[in-house]
A and B are shown apart, each in its own frame.
Chain A
Amino acid sequence: DAGVIQSPRHEVTEMGQEVTLRCKPISGHNSLFWYRQTMMRGLELLIYFNNNVPIDDSGMPEDRFSAKMPNASFSTLKIQPSEPRDSAVYFCASSFNGRDSPLHFGNGTRLTVT
């Protein structure tokens, strides 16, 4: 079975540009999560969806960040405009019900904003 698929694997962009990260969850999973990993802050939950509906976006750092899940098989995380401090690895994860089922993570997108 295919796991969580994220694209791109690496993204290098200049400050001020728009960045869109993409995620395809595991088929049948109804919870989707976006995490950010940095050396300073570790793994932080940005937002999660349940049945395509955003449930908790309290981890989204600023209005520059937005996430959508138009259907059960696709989600995007957008940063506009990007800043150097957004440089991090962004992980997407999915699970069957999110609470006690393990999260299955994608390979992550390493974002570098110069």
Chain B
Amino acid sequence: AQKVTQAQTEISVVEKEDVTLDCVYETRDTTYYLFWYKQPPSGELVFLIRRNSFDEQNEISGRYSWNFQKSTSSFNFTITASQVVDSAVYFCALSGYGNNRLAFGKGNQVVVIP
């Protein structure tokens, strides 16, 4: 079974500060896929990034970056120079190769204070 843990429940930062969200996962699959989703106050769920288990290269996309480390089963997500519009709940999610079940963590509530 897949399991995703997001330990931090609410994180408050002042605008322009960086914020890093931690995600730890458990899976027995050797091939799996990791995702981050954003849920703004309006309620919709928006796909942000995806990573395959066989690709540990960390990347930056605009103000978003992620740090994938298989050795520690972590898939952390960073927002650089946060803005008020980044205020949302961020979900880490995992799916295994053998099934389509996407397991979500409990989410991190990010509050960016102007």
- Inter-chain CA distance A81–B110, complex, in Å, is 37
Q: Is A33 an interface residue (CB 8 A)?
A: yes
Given A42-B106, A99-B33, A100-B33, answer yes or no on A91-B100 (Cβ-Cβ < 8 Å). no
Q: List 29 A-B contacts (CB under 8 A).
A: A31-B100, A42-B104, A42-B105, A42-B106, A43-B91, A43-B104, A45-B102, A45-B103, A48-B100, A48-B101, A55-B100, A56-B100, A56-B101, A97-B100, A99-B33, A99-B95, A99-B97, A99-B100, A100-B33, A100-B50, A102-B35, A102-B50, A103-B47, A105-B37, A105-B44, A105-B45, A107-B44, A108-B45, A110-B43
Chain A residues within CB distance 8 Å of chain B: 31, 33, 42-43, 45, 48, 50, 55-56, 89, 91, 93, 97-100, 102-108, 110
